[in-house]
Amino acid sequence: MKLKCKVVDVLTSIPEALLDPDDCAIIGVRENDRVRIGGPKGEVSVLLVSSNLIGEGNMVIPESVAKRVGVKNGEEAEVNYSPSPESVRAIRKKMDGQKLEPKEIEAVVNDIYAGSLSNIEVSAWLTALYINEMDLDEIAAFAQAMVNTGDRVPFEKGPIFDFHSVGGVPGNKITPIVVSICAAAGLMLPKTSSRAISSACGTSDFVETFCNIEVTTDKLKEIGETVGGAFVWGGSMNLAPVDDIVIKIEHPLGINPRPQMLASILSKKLAINANYLLVDIPTGAGTKVPTIEVARAYARDFTDLGEKLGIHVECAITYADQPVGSAIGPNLEARECIRVLEGSEHPASVVEKACECAGILLEMAGFHDGVRKAREILSSGQAHKKFMEIVVAQGGRADLKSSDLKPGKYSADILAPKSGYVNSISNKDLVAVAKACGSANDKGAGLLLFKKKGQRVEAGDVLFTLYADNEAKLLRAKDMAERYSPITIEGMLIKRISTPEPR
Amino acid sequence: MKLKCKVVDVLTSIPEALLDPDDCAIIGVRENDRVRIGGPKGEVSVLLVSSNLIGEGNMVIPESVAKRVGVKNGEEAEVNYSPSPESVRAIRKKMDGQKLEPKEIEAVVNDIYAGSLSNIEVSAWLTALYINEMDLDEIAAFAQAMVNTGDRVPFEKGPIFDFHSVGGVPGNKITPIVVSICAAAGLMLPKTSSRAISSACGTSDFVETFCNIEVTTDKLKEIGETVGGAFVWGGSMNLAPVDDIVIKIEHPLGINPRPQMLASILSKKLAINANYLLVDIPTGAGTKVPTIEVARAYARDFTDLGEKLGIHVECAITYADQPVGSAIGPNLEARECIRVLEGSEHPASVVEKACECAGILLEMAGFHDGVRKAREILSSGQAHKKFMEIVVAQGGRADLKSSDLKPGKYSADILAPKSGYVNSISNKDLVAVAKACGSANDKGAGLLLFKKKGQRVEAGDVLFTLYADNEAKLLRAKDMAERYSPITIEGMLIKRISTPEPR
């Protein structure tokens, strides 16, 4: 039927048309069906919303749709029923617990990318993936489909090394250190990182405090092929763009289905043509991977998927019962990271973890005794030199120093309420407190830990200091820190021993 | 933070606010989070949509939200992060396959009703129900929560009898006959029916061709208490309003999760205070209940749930391998139904099914030999007399005759391509063809079957006739009928026997 168009300039991610319920009945469509809108320039299928406010004979469409079909405000357009995309069948099949064919997975990925699936359908897809899972064949096909919707970095040299942390442990600022050590040893490690999703501060969130993280695929190729290393933001390129859409649906549900997570990680490795990949799996209470058994299962998945996708994968299961190092938040983490490279500070958990990971990568490249080699490169200053080359290549200052990175101007100390030993540190609560301080959006926001697990504290000692760029946020975070008590102190040594520590 | 409001008159089912991505980052929210909008008249939480077209410092909100908080176009409103409703935790719990507490189920139902859950969240809920199911305790709590969001019919007399068909078989026009027989015998059977959802024609779709189906709860009380029977549209009252929201999300996914279906049915029985309930479970290929085993499981569910909810439930597993009677479509079904009551036509499947169902209800009320009693009431004309009382009570004409109901003016015969016996009739394909004719929106649309299973046909015999109010729809349906061949004819008797018929 023909309807008069009201064109509005409000555009949401998935194009919709609003029609009167009576017109819907005549066309034979119902809310959340599709309608095909046709005008002089062409046709486009959009989601149908039924609304009593539109009036019979009228239709509200976004400007983007009006332009594509070639109709103007007040003009008529042809509106008809349009069937759901074929990929909805694949979603149903996964809801019914069946294994999907590669072309079915590809159809879902392509339709999510094209905006042809509604929030309802993508949510059902992710829920079905969360509950019914995928086997490794399906996940490999999923990764392949995801990389096919995006760009690839056109490296002409190789082999390409890559490093990925599953995440979940706060303060994990090792990426620039690992990249710098490996690149100093001659490896090509053009690392793409992400911003915080549920964490307090992603690698890209703290790297952007001292250099540019947004590059094109051509620029990443150039830096990788000349300097060897990079630590850029993957989101600035179009590597696996389906991710951005999916994250918006995962977020309100608080889920990250295992098949989606694995496919998403591996698709980005395929996009940079990685030949060798080290996966860091931080394991500990309050992280994504709570036990060693879960970590082993992830490791098996990554290595098996690597084999299916032609990437040599190794995994490092790392200790994550408490934060890595002492800083959480963009400027604070950047400062701690650069201090390690400068050699002006030696927080054991940061240095050890970075050298262990870099060591495995060096051994994958053929070096013997990788960890020793990594330590040498770090302590000799070669890693710092390479780090500065990368910083400059990414548009940072050639005279960058750790002291350039300043914590927020508002601060508050959280004191030990009693004497004893630090019994546990809650990653989850520290993340919540750091986010309340304003991290990762406010660059000075975050916290500095002064006590780690097992250390002796006296009543009144500073356990950690909060920093914020904004006083209101500081007060809110302080209140939260006092309510949550992320660090618990146990008076009796005997009780401390009874708490098992998974390592 | 404060943002300048652009108020738009476009209102979708769930209120949304559109903000600039940079403002979202400052507030610390992301797409599909909630924001709390505050103005002089109060606060309201809405879903956040991030859009590049809004411009920093601005926000687009629907008129309904602007009114509730008391801001006008161009004025500023306070915008802050608002946490997700608690019920999202319950959705997650069901996604994780856990059993829900009654108060968790109630929270989900209440939030769906209040429009506090987004399409994403409701879709995840339904998908989780579809995959992970609910046990009977949960379903009973679910039904109770659904009825609590709606109105109840304030009957003062009793006991109340009710009749429900699970549906799925086309041409099932027995409800007015069952109601008339039972009410003629003195039972109170104030039946609420529904319109077609996926079927070609719901009870309410054909009843509205001869009387009014939209009543208030008070009017239903009055008709029930004076005339004894009714056949009104449940959707005209506010009995379990959550259903209407849920159906919009189920529809694009093509699912009707078992817990949702059972809770929805029983909530409507609770809303009319039913004491006795007969559930008709049509069983056969191409229906919702394909096999007798599935039917038995449903029957067990209904009787057990009835016990938990204080309703005496019996179930009738009925034959549904082919349509009931010969008419599909509003006017055609109404005509066949009234002809049976008038005694002018005796299609065995309609008469038998109606009398069997009415007979069980009569026995539940204490009558002996209920089917014989039902047949007597029907053949003596008492059922027709009661039917006319109900029609008049529902605003229909006192001189209503079956001949008042006319098929659509466009018609086309579908002929047998060869001679043989009717081997199978596809319910699903006939439904699709009847819908293509325009049923249930076009009242004259539908089809009349002239051959049923096992009957002998000669090449060129009319298998069925299509009717439509509109020539284009007729042609489309005819084309579909010829492609689908909903009636298959098998030449050799021996092959016909080899097809097992579940009964």
Do B311 and B275 touch, CB atoms closer than 8 A? Answer: yes
pLDDT band at B173 (very low <50, low <70, confident <90, very high): very high
The answer to whether the Cβ–Cβ distance between A123 and B124 falls below 8 Å is yes
Say which CATH number the domain at A284 has: 3.40.1030.10
Same domain, A56 and A111: no
Domain at B463, CATH number? 3.90.1170.30
Q: Residue A250 in 3-state DSSP?
A: helix
A51 pLDDT band, cuts 50/70/90, is confident
User: Which of B58, B78, B88, B131 should we substitute to test contact with A (largest number of A Cβ atoms within 10 Å)?
Assistant: B131
Q: Looking at the domain assignment, is residue A245 inside a domain?
A: no
Q: Which two tokens stand for residue A461?
A: 């000692």
Pick from B26, B32, B84: CB nearest A248: B32
Of B8, B16, B95, Cβ closest to residue A127: B95
Task: Determine the residue of chain B that is closest to A94 in CA distance.
Answer: B131
Statement to judge: residues A435 and A455 lie in one domain: yes
Q: What is the CATH number of the domain that holds B78?
A: 2.40.40.20
Is residue B415 domain-shared with residue B439, that is, in the same domain?
yes
Q: Which of A92, A120, A260 to mutate to test the interface with B (most CBs of B within 10 A)?
A: A120
CB A205 within 8 A of CB A177: no
Cis peptide before A159 (omega within 30 of 0): yes
CA–CA distance, B253 with A88 (Å, rounded to integer) = 7
Question: Are B188 and B333 in a shared domain?
Answer: yes
User: What is the rounded CA–CA span in Å between residue A28 and residue B469?
Assistant: 14
Q: Is residue B454 part of a domain?
A: yes
What is the spatial distance between Cα A310 and Cα A270, in angstroms, rounded to a whole number? Answer: 9
Which pTM value belongs to this model? 0.84
Domain identity same for A228 and A365: yes
CA quadruple A241, A242, A247, A249: dihedral, nearest 10: 140
Helices and strands per DSSP (H, E), number in chain A:
19, 18
Among B418, B417, B427, which residue's Cα sits nearest to residue B453? B427
- Closest by alpha carbon to B440, among B221, B213, B273, B244? B213
Given B367, B384, B402, the domain boundary residue is B402
> What SS3 class is residue A324?
coil
Question: What end-to-end distance do the CA atoms of chain A give, in Å?
Answer: 67
- Residue A493: what pLDDT? 44
Give me the domain span that covers residue B201: 161-238+255-402
Yes or no, beta carbons of B252 and A49 under 8 Å apart: no
Same domain assignment for residues B198 and B315: yes
Q: Are B3 and B77 in contact (CB under 8 A)?
A: yes
Q: Which residues pair with B466 in a beta bridge?
A: B412, B447
- Is there a domain that residue B472 lies in? yes
What CA–CA distance (Å, rounded) separates A176 from B310? 67
State whether A448 and A483 are in the same domain.
Answer: yes
Residue of B nearest to A438 (CA): B28
Is the pLDDT at A115 greater than 90, yes or no? no
The alpha-helical segments, DSSP class H, found in B454-492 are 471-484
CB burial class (10 A; 0-12, 13-18, 19+) of residue A301? buried
Verify cis geometry, omega within 30 degrees of 0, for the bond prior to A440: yes
Bridge partners (DSSP) of residue B156 are none
Using CA atoms, how far apart are residues B484 and B183, in angstroms rounded to an integer? 41
Q: Is it the case that residue A416 has pLDDT exceeding 60?
A: yes
Phi, psi of B206, rounded to the nearest 5 degrees: -90, -30
- Examine the fold and report which residue of B41, B56, B82 is the final residue of a domain before the chain moves on: B82
* In a shared domain, residues A266 and A120: no
Hey, are the CB atoms on B255 and A435 less than 8 Å from each other?
A: no
Tell me whether residue B245 is in a domain. no
A318 is a domain residue: yes
Tens digit of pLDDT for each residue in A165-194? 988 899 999 999 999 999 999 999 999 998
E-assigned strand segments in B254-386:
276-283, 312-319, 327-328
Tell me the HSE value of A270 on the side-chain side, using a 13 A CA sphere: 25
Q: Chain A residue closest to B96 (CA)?
A: A131
pLDDT digits (tens, 9 = 90+) for A261-306: 999 999 999 999 999 999 999 998 878 888 999 999 999 999 999 9
Distance CA B146, CA B140 (A): 10
Whether residue A463 sits in one domain with residue A342: no
Look at residue A147 and tell me if it is in a domain.
no
Is residue B403 a contact partner of residue B451, using CB atoms and an 8 Å limit?
no
Position B210 in a domain = yes
**Among B374, B402, B430, which residue terminates a domain?**
B402
Identify which of A121, A249, A252 has the shortest CB distance to residue B253.
A121
pLDDT exceeds cutoff 90 at A474: yes
Q: Has residue A436 been placed in a domain? A: yes
pLDDT at A13: 55
3-state secondary structure of B232: strand
In total, how many domains does chain B have? Answer: 4
ipTM of the assembly? 0.82
Q: How far apart are CA A328 and CA A464, in angstroms?
A: 11
Rg from Cα positions in chain B: 26
Specify the pLDDT at position A9.
64
Q: Write the CB contacts of B293 (distance below 8 Å, at least 6 apart in sequence).
A: none
